[in-house]
C-alpha cells in the first residue's frame, strides 16, 4: 500500500487528544504517526493540507445504500458520494435489497462495498426475518457474518413481548439493538409535526408522544433485560430529557440525531415542500434547540445523515403520500461544521459527534488518528465559502432541502485505508 503523508494541516482528533498543526503519516493502511515533519518517512504520495482541518474520517450511522424499490441508488453510487462528503465508514440500515436477514445478504452488501472501494461498510442486520413483526432472524449467524448490530428499521414489532425477545437474543450475542422510538398507532398516517402549523396546512400530524411513549417502553425493557440499545434519530425535546435521565441512572443507552433536525423546523414544509418530508418529522424551534443542547452536552453521542436517496418519482406525489427522506450524506459534514461557525457547537465536540462518538456505538476502532488505527481521514478546507447545488451531487438521489445553502468549510480530500479515495478537483 502507498505510504502517504498529509502535511501542514491542523489536526483535530478528540479521541487521540491531538489539537495542533501536525503532519500525519500513513503506511500499510494504518496511521504510522502524527507528529511534526520528519525526513525519515519516505512518502510515495503527499497531500498538502495547509489551511485545512485534518480529522478522522466521519462515521455515519444511518445510510440507506439501496432503498427498497429504488433502481438508481446503489452501493457504488452512494459510497462514492460518502467519500466526497468526508465519510469513511458507513453503517447501512436494514431497509436494503436484499434485506440483510441472512449471512448471504450481509456478505453481498459487504462485497459490493469492497468492490466499490470508497469507504468501509458496517452493516446492521435485520432483527426480524424480512423486517416482519413476529419471526426473529438468526442473530447469531448475522453476528458471525460481521453485523455490528441489529434493527427492524422503521418497521414495528408485533408486540412488546416480541421486542423483549429480540433484545434478549441480541444481548446474548453481544449485539446492540438499534431502535427507532415510534409508536405506530400514535403516528397513524401522520406526515408532519402535530401542531398549529400542520393544522393550517391541513396535514395529518405525528405527536411527540409517538416518540416518547415508545422510548419510555423501551427504557423499561432495558431496565428489565440489561440489553444494550441505541435510539435512532431523536426528534423532540422530551425524548432528549428522557434519554438523559436513563443515562444518569446507568442504563446502557445511546442515541443519534439526523443533522437536518439540527437546522430545520416544521416551518420548512411551508408550501408543501416534499424535500422537507422526513420521518420522524421536523418539529418545533424548542425541539431543535433541545436537540442541539443534547449534542453539545454529549447526551446525544452521534450526528448522522439519515441518508435516503430517492428517485424523483418518490417525491412527486402529494405531500402526505410522498416518500419521506433526504439524500444527506454529502451535507453531513458541511452542516455539522456550520454549527461551529455559528457558535452553536465547539469544533472539538462537532468532530467527536462525527467520529469517535459513532465509532464507539458501533464498537469499532474507527474515529481516531491514533498510531495503528485505520488510516481513515478527512481533510477540510476552512473558510472556503461555497454554495451547495444539487447538480453537483454524486449521490443518485437529489432529494434535499439544502440546495442553494452557503457553507464555509468544504471537504478537500478523503483517505480510506491509506488510499486517497476522493480529492476535490481530482480523479480520485
Instruction: Name the pairing type of β-strands 4-13 and 406-407.
Output: unpaired
3-state secondary structure the chain: CCCEEEEEEEEEECCCCEEEEEEEEEECCEEEEEECCCCCCCCCEEEECCCEEEEECEEEEEECCCCCCCCCCCHHHHHHHHHHCCEEEEEECCCCCCCCCCHHHHHHHHHHHHHHCCCEEEEEEECEHHHCCCCECCHHHHHHCCCCEEECCCCCCCCHHHHHHHHHHHHHCCCEEEECCCCHHHHCCCCEECCHHHHHHCCCEECCHHHHHHHHHHHHHHHHHCCCEEECCCCCHHHHHHHHHHHHCCCCEEEEEEHHHHCCCHHHHCCCCHHHCCCCCCCCHHHHHHHHHHHHHCCCCEEECCECCCCHHHHCCCHHHCCCCECCCCCHHHHHHHHHHCCCCCHHHHHHHHCHHHHHHHCCCCCCCCCCCECCEEEEECCCCEECCHHHCCCCCCCCCCCCCEECCEEEEEEECCEEEEECCCCC
Active site residue 306: yes
Distance CA 110, CA 330 (A): 21
Q: How far is CA 85 from CA 4, 337, 404, in A?
A: 20, 12, 17
Distance CA 228, CA 365 (A): 19
Distance CA 265, CA 115 (A): 39
Q: In this structure, what are the phi and psi dihedrals at residue 275, rounded to the nearest 5 degrees? A: -70, -15
**Residue 120: all three cell numbers together:** 468501509
Q: Could you say which of 287, 306, 376, 409 is catalytic? A: 306
How many other C-beta atoms can be found within 10 angstroms of the C-beta atom of residue 188? 12
383 CB-near residues (< 8 Å, 6+ apart): 408, 409
**Hey, which residues are catalytic here?**
306
Amino acid at each position: 500500500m502507498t505510504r502517504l503523508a498529509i502535511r501542514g494541516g491542523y489536526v483535530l482528533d478528540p479521541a487521540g487528544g491531538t489539537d495542533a498543526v501536525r503532519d500525519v503519516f500513513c503506511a500499510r493502511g494504518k496511521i504510522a504517526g502524527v507528529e511534526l515533519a520528519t525526513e525519515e518517512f519516505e512518502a510515495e504520495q503527499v497531500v498538502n493540507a495547509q489551511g485545512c482541518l485534518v480529522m478522522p474520517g466521519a462515521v455515519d450511522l444511518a445510510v440507506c445504500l439501496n432503498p427498497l424499490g429504488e433502481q438508481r441508488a446503489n452501493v457504488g453510487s452512494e459510497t462514492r458520494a460518502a467519500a466526497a462528503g468526508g465519510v469513511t465508514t458507513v453503517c447501512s440500515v436494514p431497509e436494503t435489497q436484499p434485506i440483510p436477514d441472512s449471512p448471504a445478504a450481509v456478505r453481498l452488501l459487504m462485497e459490493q462495498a469492497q468492490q466499490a472501494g470508497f469507504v468501509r461498510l458496517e452493516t446492521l442486520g435485520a432483527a426480524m426475518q424480512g423486517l416482519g413483526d413476529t419471526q426473529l432472524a438468526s442473530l447469531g449467524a448475522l453476528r458471525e457474518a460481521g453485523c455490528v448490530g441489529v434493527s427492524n428499521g422503521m418497521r414495528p414489532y408485533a408486540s412488546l413481548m416480541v421486542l423483549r425477545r429480540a433484545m434478549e437474543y441480541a444481548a446474548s450475542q453481544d449485539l446492540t439493538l438499534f431502535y427507532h422510538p415510534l409508536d405506530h398507532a400514535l403516528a397513524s398516517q401522520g406526515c408532519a409535526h402535530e401542531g398549529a402549523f400542520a393544522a393550517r396546512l391541513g396535514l395529518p400530524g405525528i405527536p411527540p408522544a409517538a416518540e416518547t411513549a415508545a422510548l419510555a417502553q423501551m427504557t423499561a425493557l432495558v431496565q428489565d433485560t440489561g440489553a444494550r440499545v441505541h435510539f435512532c434519530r431523536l426528534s423532540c425535546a422530551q425524548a432528549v430529557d428522557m434519554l438523559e435521565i436513563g443515562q444518569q441512572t446507568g442504563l446502557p443507552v445511546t442515541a443519534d440525531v439526523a443533522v437536518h433536525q439540527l437546522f430545520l423546523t416544521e416551518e420548512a414544509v411551508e408550501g408543501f415542500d416534499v424535500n422537507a418530508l422526513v420521518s420522524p418529522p421536523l418539529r418545533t424551534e424548542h425541539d431543535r434547540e433541545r436537540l442541539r443542547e443534547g449534542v453539545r452536552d454529549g447526551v446525544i453521542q452521534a450526528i448522522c445523515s439519515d441518508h435516503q436517496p430517492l428517485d424523483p418519482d418518490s417525491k412527486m406525489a402529494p405531500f402526505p403520500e410522498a416518500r419521506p427522506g433526504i439524500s444527506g450524506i454529502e451535507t453531513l459534514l458541511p452542516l455539522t461544521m456550520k454549527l461551529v461557525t455559528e457558535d452553536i457547537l465547539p469544533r472539538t465536540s462537532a468532530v467527536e459527534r462525527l467520529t469517535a462518538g459513532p465509532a464507539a456505538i458501533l464498537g469499532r476502532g474507527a474515529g481516531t488518528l491514533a498510531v495503528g488505527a485505520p488510516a481513515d481521514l478527512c481533510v477540510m478546507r476552512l473558510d472556503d465559502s461555497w454554495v451547495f447545488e444539487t447538480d453537483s451531487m454524486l449521490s443518485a438521489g437529489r432529494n434535499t432541502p439544502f440546495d442553494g445553502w452557503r457553507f464555509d468549510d468544504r471537504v478537500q480530500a478523503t483517505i480510506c485505508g491509506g488510499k486517497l479515495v476522493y480529492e476535490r478537483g481530482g480523479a480520485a
